[in-house]
Amino acid sequence: MIPFLDIPVQALFGQLLLGLINGSFYALLSLGLAIIFGLLNIINFTHGAQYMLGAFVAWMLLNYLGIGYWWALLLVPIIVGASGVVIERLLISRLYKLDHIYGLLLTFGIALIMQGLLRNEYGASGMPYAIPPELAGGQRLGFMFLPNYRAWVIVASVSVCLGTWLLIECTRLGAYLRAATENPALTQAFGINVPLLVTLTYGFGVGLAALAGVLAAPIYSVNPNMGADIIIVVFAVVVIGGMGSILGAIVSGFALGLIEGLTKVFYPEASTTVIFVIMAIVLLVKPAGLFGRTA
């Protein structure tokens, strides 16, 4: 074993892998946030609450209807995404021509309402949600014990991120989306229903958050506050990647997971602050983020 600053290299490898797994949550969440920001120009502060809602709806499906994890994986993004569509049509759509700050305030208010209501109903300390039996247990990799569920999280997240990226970059629908991001008026003039596209995009972004929530339910505590802390970190990830950049969100999501993982080994107290240090440095050196275009 070659020690590296007192930490055996193998242990370090394990820590990096864990960082990557956490990064997959960041990537999923920041991907949704970035897509929404790109097209709607709204900083969706409800994103954290929608992630939390994803976990809660999965719990409700299981406990009230007996619907298990695998169906939840499919149903929850649709249900929560649909609720997102309603919110977009009723509320957010009134703000498109205004400054970011109003969208932020509105979505923050919605997040508070969601958190408050769920807290009244279910309390603050959380709900149990078991790992599906198919994914219980784990593999001994020599340098660490990798639970099967974590491996699944990383596979699921990478494929969803990749799929979304391909959808946006390589399909006709994606082309419309990019066109509408670039110039909504002109895209509309070409006969594309931009408002519909905007609504569906918001629903899709919210669905991604809900999916992340379902993935998180078996390993993180399912409680009404679970999204309140993560939103600001995810927001930072999006900024580091470059606001609205899809690839940037995905790459910096994983990269920051890795960096956070390393911090947890060398200076654990700072592991929640390191993202902000990096954000400050990135913004000062590369103003529009790593993958953003300079305004």
Smallest gap from residue 134 Cβ to another protein (A): 15
User: Using the rule CB under 8 A, which residue among 71, 96, 108, 176 binds another protein?
Assistant: 108
User: Judged by CB under 8 A, which stretch of 19-27, 60-68, 158-166, 175-183 contacts another protein?
Assistant: 19-27
User: Judged by CB under 8 A, which stretch of 126-134, 155-163, 203-211, 246-254 contacts another protein?
Assistant: 126-134
Helix (H) or strand (E) holding 182: helix 172-182
DSSP helix/strand/coil, 92: helix
Helix (H) or strand (E) holding 112: helix 100-122
Question: How many positions of this chain bind another protein (CB under 8 A)?
Answer: 76
Rounded Cα gap, residues 149 and 52, in angstroms: 19
Smallest gap from residue 191 Cβ to another protein (A): 31
User: Using the rule CB under 8 A, which residue among 71, 102, 152, 176 binds another protein?
Assistant: 102
Q: Residue 130, interface with another protein (CB under 8 A)?
A: yes
User: At a CB cut-off of 8 Å and minimum separation 6, what does 19 contact?
Assistant: 257, 258, 259, 260, 261, 262, 264
- Window 150 to 209, contacts with another protein (CB under 8 A): 150
- Window 31 to 90, contacts with another protein (CB under 8 A): 43
User: At a CB cut-off of 8 Å and minimum separation 6, what does 42 contact?
Assistant: 36, 92, 95, 96, 100, 103, 104, 107
Beta strands in 125-193 (DSSP E): 138-140, 145-147
User: Using the rule CB under 8 A, which residue among 24, 201, 223, 245 binds another protein?
Assistant: 223
User: Using the rule CB under 8 A, which residue among 151, 175, 220, 290 binds another protein?
Assistant: 220
Contact 261, 18 (CB under 8 A): yes
- Window 230 to 289, contacts with another protein (CB under 8 A): 230, 232, 235-236, 239, 243, 261, 264-265, 268-273, 276-277, 279-280, 283-284, 287-288
Question: What's the token pair of residue 120?
Answer: 């009244």
Smallest gap from residue 285 Cβ to another protein (A): 11
User: Judged by CB under 8 A, which stretch of 70-78, 100-108, 180-188, 197-205 contacts another protein?
Assistant: 100-108
Smallest gap from residue 73 Cβ to another protein (A): 18
User: Using the rule CB under 8 A, which residue among 115, 164, 199, 252 binds another protein?
Assistant: 115
Q: Exposure pattern of 189-212 as b/e (b: 16+ CB <10 Å)?
A: eeebebeebbbbbbbbbbbbbbbb
